Amino acid sequence: MIDLAACTDGELAALALGGRQAAYRALMDRHRGAAFRLARHHCGDDDAALDVTQQSFIAAFAALRRYDGARPFAHWLARIVINKSHDWARRRKVRQFFTFAVPLDSAHGVAEPTPDAERQTADRQELERTMHAIAALPAKLKEALILRAIEGLSQTEAAAVLGVSEKAVETRLYRARARLSENLSEKSARKI
């Protein structure tokens, strides 16, 4: 009996490709939390992040033969999560377009959702505001910020996941932080 908890990601991938369902489950259990966090920070919404995480694991397991066991599985999966997050964002834009493409005489039923201020605490509001500001960043800046500042990857690891140089990650991170600070300041000024 093989102890799956002691196996490396590469060994688990090989076992999974060999038909061991428990190896698939072990890989998913090992990386589900990080994949969900990455998706949540990318999407800014827990429900969407859950969908993106599920789609990412389905895609990863379907493409498991292409995984290079010599590279970190987490980096390979992070790239898939980022791609699935981009797909989600594109679909969301299309849905938003059609939501607003309602004839004027029937537009009275289209209501803009507003948060219930009574049930949210100030900390939760601030967190949501920040998450939405992160989600609104351009994809290249958002990815660098999430991988480095939120997921805690090193600059080298983030560069490997994104397929760019370390200097590009550094530049994107600097620009992301500046833009995020600017966006949050603007939103605070509008509230006053």
Domain count, the chain: 2
Residues 129 and 92 in one domain: no
Average pLDDT, integer, range 125-144 = 84
Phi, psi of 13 (to 5 degrees): -60, -45
Q: Of the residues 50, 84, 99, which one is the last residue of a structural domain?
A: 99
Euclidean distance between CA atoms 174 and 176, whole angstroms: 6
Q: What is the CATH number of the domain that holds 32?
A: 1.10.1740.10
- Tens of pLDDT, residue by residue over 35-89, are 999 999 888 888 999 999 999 999 999 999 999 888 899 999 999 999 999 888 8
Residues 95 and 173 in one domain: no
Euclidean distance between CA atoms 73 and 120, whole angstroms: 37
HEC letters along 5-31: HHCCHHHHHHHHHCCCHHHHHHHHHHH
Residues 12 and 94 in one domain: yes
Rounded to two decimals, the pTM is 0.60
Residues 41 and 90 in one domain: yes
pLDDT of residue 119: 47
- Domain coverage including residue 175: 124-192
Residues 129 and 181 in one domain: yes
In a domain, 12, yes or no: yes
